[in-house]
Amino acid sequence: ECAWLCDLWPCDRLKNTNVRVSLPAVCFVWQIAMIVLFGVFVRYDKESDAHWVELKKTENLTDLDNEFYFRYPSFQDVHVMIFVGFGFLMTFLKRYSFSAVGFNFLIAAFGLQWALLMQGWFHHFDYSTGKIYIGIESMINADFCCAGSLIAYGAILGKVSPVQLMVVTLFGVTLFAVEEFIILDLFHCRDAGGAMVIHCFGGYYGLAISWVLYRPNLHRSKRLNGSVYQSDLFAMIGTLFLWMFWPSFNSAIANHGEGQHRTAMNTYIALASSVLTTVAISSMSKKGGKLDMVHIQNATLAGGVAMGTAAELMITPYGSLIVGFCIGIISTFGYLYITPFLEERFKLQDTCGIHNLHAVPGMLGGFTGAIVAATASESVYSKEGLIATFDFTGKFENRSPGTQGGFQAAGVCVAMAFGLVGGAIVGFILKFPIWGDAADDNCFDDEAYWELPEEEETIPPVLEYNNHMTQQKHRET
């Protein structure tokens, strides 16, 4: 059906996974560009600059007033989620674990640098000095920004080259910074844990890329598109670090004090709830009530995604439980029925099922946040609590919770639109046959991009044994 595309894009040429020129070139050139741009634009903010020692005296601050102490423990948890969480979650494939954890490492390391710049230009640019001032909050936001591209990696896992992943990240971070600017700054939405800006955007971005890169003959790599016992255990390391630290993820940039406190607690509760419904649906769906590791590794996390916006708000503890309850069911159903349906009917190959873990829970989480925001009241939040929670200050002083809810809902649509349109465009760019991606029968294979160690146990020498038996027989006769 997409044959007309092949006229435009020569997608049928022989695939060649040699990246010996392109990968070093991309790494070197982009890293040098980072150095130059950092040199021109990036400086320490006032809380990480040595001048703070004087500022502390003039403003009568204590050491603990430094933002570092409010955010650093959460930052480290988020950092673990980005590198160990996302990295190991994708190691479930039997022969793609090096690429899962290694390329995740590479693109996150690049993405966070580019994010410091992009988010700096859009959010923290000081027009008087022409500089971006960075601190601990910039580091958390840079990690968040990477997450969007790492989610997208989940959809195309095993089917793209590291060079393509760098391109995905370059555009992913760029698009992220723009949609985040629209949603958080122009629409003045609340989205502490990024249900909209991270998960909804990242999910649809990855799905759109994967849809454009559809491989009709991917079944030729079917032998490698599955897990083994040990790889599922490595993936559980990723799952658990994501699950455990999700309260930190959602609360990392929430308001000081009760804001961070409530966000962490709501997320903690919702995640617990989604574990039980995931197990329930998984068990119901299989003969003998056996559980499926794919569900346990993924759908248990949907509670954290779905609380990305609402966790900061007064959703109540039982409200959090309900969100976790529903999203656990929806996400597991997605793995059971929607992902196969999308692949068969919409030609959408989604290796990790990010549709069910990020795209849909992110979208629903965004709408949940919109509803909770729209129903906010002074009796529940207190007058000052309402202003502080939604930052109804400055030109947003007179915004009502109802209006806020409307903007929150609009934010979800912006995130989806950026994901889908941006992903489609990036997908077309990646169809160029210059990126070193594998042929359809070599997907999901580390062999293409890694020097692999020899096998531990050599195959039993059946052939030798054969010869030996034949000789014996000759002797016998």
Q: Residue 106 or 417: which CB sits closer to a copy of itself?
A: 106
Reading the block at residue 4, the tokens are 């007309």
Judged by CB under 8 A, the residue of 169, 227, 331, 349 near a copy of itself is 227
Q: Using the rule CB under 8 A, which residue among 7, 14, 344, 383 binds a copy of itself?
A: 383
Q: Please select the residue that binds a copy of itself; options are 9, 11, 15, 105, rule is CB under 8 A.
A: 105
Interface pick for a copy of itself out of 21, 129, 185, 400 (rule CB under 8 A): 21
225/356 with CB nearer a copy of itself: 225
Give the strands of the sheet with 125-126, arranged side by side: 42-44, 131-134, 125-126
The residue range among 262-270, 367-375, 427-435, 437-445 that interacts with a copy of itself, by the rule CB under 8 A, is 262-270
Is the separation of the CB atoms in 203 and 358 below 8 Å? yes
Amino acid letter for position 276: L
Within 10 angstroms of residue 68's Cβ, the number of other Cβ atoms is: 15
* Single residue of 9, 11, 15, 27 touching a copy of itself by CB under 8 A: 27
**Residue 417 beta carbon to a copy of itself: minimum distance, rounded to whole angstroms:** 30
- Cβ atoms within 10 Å of 78's Cβ, excluding its own: 27
> Which of the stretches 5-13, 264-272, 357-365, 391-399 binds a copy of itself when contact is defined by CB under 8 A?
264-272
Q: How far is CA 361 from CA 57, 211, 240, in A?
A: 47, 20, 18
Instruction: Report the C-alpha gap between 194 and 306 in whole angstroms.
Output: 9
Which of 9, 174, 214, 280 is close enough to bind a copy of itself by CB under 8 A?
280
Question: Nearest CA to 404 among 184, 177, 145?
Answer: 184
**SS3 category, 42:** strand
Torsion of CA 319, 322, 326, 331, to 10 degrees: 70
Largest CA distance in the chain: 104
Q: Which of 119, 141, 221, 273 binds a copy of itself (CB under 8 A)?
A: 273
Provide the 10 A C-beta neighbour count for residue 216: 11
Residues numbered 236-255 forming contacts with a copy of itself, rule: CB under 8 A: 236-237, 240-241, 243-245, 247-248
In this chain, which of 356, 389, 404, 408 binds a copy of itself, going by CB under 8 A?
389
Using the minimum distance from each CB to a copy of itself, give the nearer residue, 295 or 414. 295
Options 21-29, 169-177, 349-357, 413-421: segment touching a copy of itself (CB under 8 A): 21-29
Give yes or no for a contact between 186 and 207, defined as CB atoms under 8 angstroms apart. Answer: no
Which residue in 2, 5, 6, 24 binds a copy of itself (CB under 8 A)? Answer: 24
Site for a copy of itself in 166-225 (CB under 8 A): none
Closer residue to a copy of itself, CB minimum distance, 149 or 248? 248
Of 122-130, 362-370, 406-414, 455-463: span binding a copy of itself (CB under 8 A): 455-463
Tokens representing 454?
């020899």
How many residues sit in the footprint of a copy of itself (CB under 8 A)? 152
Residue choice 13, 57, 345, 475 for contact with a copy of itself (CB under 8 A): 57
Question: Which window, 99-107, 168-176, 365-373, 407-415, contacts a copy of itself (CB under 8 A)?
Answer: 99-107
Q: Does 434 bind a copy of itself (CB under 8 A)?
A: no
Please list every residue from 115 through 134 that binds a copy of itself, using CB under 8 A: 116, 134
Distances (CA, A) of 146 to 83, 101, 175, 289, 388: 10, 15, 11, 38, 28
Q: Which is nearer to a copy of itself, 8 or 463 (CB)?
A: 463
Tell the smallest beta-carbon distance from residue 467 to a copy of itself (Å): 13
Instruction: Compute the distance between CA of residue 381 and CA of residue 383 in angstroms, rounded to an integer.
Output: 6
Residue 276 CB, shortest distance to a copy of itself, in Å, is 4
Nearer to a copy of itself, 140 or 208 (CB): 140
270 binds a copy of itself per the rule CB under 8 A: no
Give dist(CA 250, CA 157) in Å, integer. 25
Interface of this chain with a copy of itself, residues 317 to 376, rule: CB under 8 A: 317-318, 321-322, 325
Residue 108 exposed, middle or buried by CB count within 10 Å (0-12, 13-18, 19+): buried
Across the strands, what pairs with 44?
134
133: helix, strand or coil: strand
State the minimum distance, in angstroms, from the CB of residue 379 to a copy of itself.
Answer: 10
- φ and ψ at 28, to 5 degrees? -65, -50
CA torsion angle 292 327 417 345 (round to 10): 40
53 binds a copy of itself (CB under 8 A): yes
* SS3 category, 443: coil
Q: Nearest 5°: CA angle at 140, between 44 and 271?
A: 165
